[in-house]
């Protein structure tokens, strides 16, 4: 009877160890899965940041190009206005000289 009780106690202890072992293995598996999910989320976030930075860089480049084009157009317009004024002055002087 005592041996049966000891065997029952040993079996219960072994079952408890097995339950603890399974719980540890399951917790470890959940932790690994969580780490993998976090790594994937970080990688996805990094990719989104890189895409946003690339879009921002492209927008800055387009804005810079537009500004440079506008500056060039303004310089050309200023030169054309200056030439027009010079021609008008020369025409006025020529008309005066022709009098």
pTM: 0.54
Q: What does each C-alpha distance from 58 to 46, 51, 63 come to in angstroms?
A: 18, 11, 9
The shares of helix, strand and coil residues in the chain, as percent rounded to the nearest 5, are: 100, 0, 0
Is 90 exceeded by the pLDDT of residue 98? Answer: no
The pLDDT tens digits of the residues spanning 53-93 come to 999 999 999 999 999 999 999 999 999 999 999 999 999 99
What count of residues does the chain have? Answer: 99
Angle at 67 between CA 66 and CA 69, to 5 degrees: 65
Q: Give the per-residue pLDDT at 68.
A: 97
Confidence of residue 99 (pLDDT cuts 50, 70, 90): confident
Is 90 exceeded by the pLDDT of residue 27? Answer: yes
Average pLDDT, the chain: 96
């Amino acid at each position: 009877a005592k041996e049966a009780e000891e065997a029952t106690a040993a079996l219960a202890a072994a079952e408890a160890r097995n339950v603890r072992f399974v719980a540890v293995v399951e917790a470890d598996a959940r932790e690994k899965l969580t780490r993998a999910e976090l790594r994937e989320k970080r990688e996805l976030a990094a990719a989104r940041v890189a895409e946003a930075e690339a879009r921002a860089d492209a927008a800055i480049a387009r804005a810079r190009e537009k500004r440079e084009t506008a500056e060039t157009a303004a310089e050309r317009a200023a030169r054309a206005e200056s030439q027009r004024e010079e021609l008008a002055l020369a025409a006025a002087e020529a008309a005066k000289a022709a009098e």
